Amino acid sequence: MASRVDGWFLLLSALALISAGNAAWMLIDPAYWYSDLPAGVPDFGNYNEHFVRDIGCAFLTFALALAWAAFRPATRAPLVAISAVFFVAHALLHIYDTARGFVEADHWWLDLPGVYTPAVLLMAMTYRLIGDAPAPTNARL
């Protein structure tokens, strides 16, 4: 049996761990996440503990999807594509809010590492995985 530890496994595992860490922070201490994440979260509106935890649940979901994709190569294309939809939509919302002046222009840079980069990376990964995906089979998910 071929080893599952390849470049995709490592990249997907890293992204899953980052998403899981962010989710844990949002779920365990939402007030601290809101005030201390170096992305200017308070610039977007008032603190809402429930809403931060809701988003934490979304990040936990994507952490699990990316981890599943890491360990199950046959599931990579659809799971990464679904994750990319959220991250790209999230990035587009940030672009819209910054472009219309809802937040200061420094958010172009503040949002680069945590919002725009993951969206571009997951989009590129989706494109690559869909191109590399084998024909559909009755493979077990």
Residue 80 lies inside a defined structural domain of this protein: yes
Residue 119 lies inside a defined structural domain of this protein: yes
Residue 30 lies inside a defined structural domain of this protein: yes
pLDDT computed for residue 5 by the predictor: 87
- When divided into structural domains, the chain yields a total of 1
pLDDT computed for residue 138 by the predictor: 67
* Boundaries of domain holding 53: 7-132
d(CA 81, CA 87): 10
Average pLDDT by consecutive 10-residue portion of the chain (141 residues)? 79 98 98 94 96 98 98 96 98 98 96 97 97 68 60
pLDDT computed for residue 1 by the predictor: 41
Residue 78 lies inside a defined structural domain of this protein: yes
Residue 2 lies inside a defined structural domain of this protein: no
Residue 84 lies inside a defined structural domain of this protein: yes
